Amino acid sequence: MYGNDFGAPEEASGGGLLGEVEAAEAALREAAARQRRGAPASDDDLAGFFAEVVEADQKIEPRDWMPEAYRKTLIRQIAQHAHSEIIGMQPEGNWISRAPSLKRKAILLAKVQDEAGHGLYLYAAAETLGISRDELVDLLLNGRQKYSSIFNYPTLTWADVGAIGWLVDGAAIVNQVPLCRCSYGPYARAMIRICKEESFHQRQGYEILHTLSHGTPEQKAMAQDALDRWWYPSLAMFGPPDGESTHSTQSMAWKIKRFSNDELRQRFVDMCVQQAEILGLTIPDPDLRWNDERQAYDFTQPDYDELMRVISGDGPCNRQRMAHRRQAHADGAWVREAATAYAAKRAAENKEKVAA
């Protein structure tokens, strides 16, 4: 959208997620200003130094010692996040040429470009952990690393673009705002910028659905259909329930994650209910109701068996998404080769100048 035509979704729900991003950014600056104690006197104290830095809400930096399991966990998580940004360009990119107006086309094009940029930030953050971007891309293309299951669902109508912005990007923001306080510095700093841009993406999707839901009966029905299809896959974005989550407990102990899957899922539901009321749309959950005792909404859990099937490669669009990504990678080989040759030429020229 252009300008502030209406309140942001987070304002409508009283969420204030952007405020949390700003607070995390301020905390990053404060942490940088505080003095960490000097480097450990001996190798025997490395683990103690690492634990002290994490406990003090300081940041682990690339040259700091870290447990190998911590490094591998970060590579897995950051890589999956980066891959998701790149694969996530496909469902909406499919609608750039079919957007209903020049204004919509320009906004959607800018959003898809943003996602490419997010992938770039995240691959760069992962590289600080000692793995190359080429390795990460190969792991994705060979099926040894994953991306978010949500991008294996099709975008059937223009309303799906709105649902992705409101629900998928909204779930991403709820998931990612706490990562702005991640214990690993390069990841936390990348997330500050990403979350600010994702907030725009959520507003864009919400505005599309707001326009449709307040348009003709056919347009409202299209918006409701998109909500019906994207609601439960969006809930599944937070991962399996806490009791079945493989990585959450250790990631929270290391302060990579700050909240559990179920806590984040609950927050997302509570945020969306009021937003749906403003849209005039109905969340497709007959058991959705306010629980006075918990001060939160009771809701139907997503189908976790479906989530596992999609993660395992049996979703509606898994094969299509990966085939497209492999083809794009092959088509771009000449660009990578040209860039490598140019860099080598410049390096040789600089070497000759130094020698002269």
Domain boundaries, the chain: 16-315
pLDDT of 37 over the 70 cut: no
CB of 272 closer than 8 Å to CB of 202? no
Over residues 97-108, the mean pLDDT reads 96
In three state form, how does the secondary structure of 185-243 look?
HHHHHHHHHHHHHHHHHHHHHHHHHHHHHCCCHHHHHHHHHHHHHHHHHHHHCCCCCHH
CA angle 73, 91, 195 (to 5 degrees): 50
Q: Structure pTM?
A: 0.89
Return the pLDDT at 28. Answer: 76
Rounded Cα distance between 26 and 240, Å, is 32
Going by pLDDT thresholds of 50, 70 and 90, the confidence category of residue 14 is: very low
pLDDT of 3 over the 80 cut: no
pLDDT of 223 over the 80 cut: yes
- Closest to 208 (Cα-Cα) out of 170, 167, 162: 162
- Closest to 82 (Cα-Cα) out of 211, 218, 176, 154: 176
Return the pLDDT at 2. Answer: 30
Going by pLDDT thresholds of 50, 70 and 90, the confidence category of residue 255 is: very high
Rounded Cα distance between 269 and 176, Å, is 16
Return the pLDDT at 20. Answer: 81
Distances (CA, A) of 353 to 65, 255, 340, 349, 350: 38, 48, 20, 6, 5
Over residues 167-180, the mean pLDDT reads 94
pLDDT of 245 over the 90 cut: no
Over residues 263-287, the mean pLDDT reads 96
Phi-psi region of 143 (alpha: psi -120 to 50; beta: other; left: phi over 0): left
pLDDT of 10 over the 70 cut: no
* CA atoms within 13 A of residue 72's CA, in its CB half-sphere: 5
Over residues 92-98, the mean pLDDT reads 95
Return the pLDDT at 9. Answer: 58
pLDDT of 115 over the 90 cut: yes
Strands 296-298 vs 289-291: parallel, antiparallel or unpaired:
antiparallel
Identify the CATH assignment for 16-315 out of 3.90.950.20, 3.50.50.100, 3.40.50.300, 1.20.1260.10: 1.20.1260.10
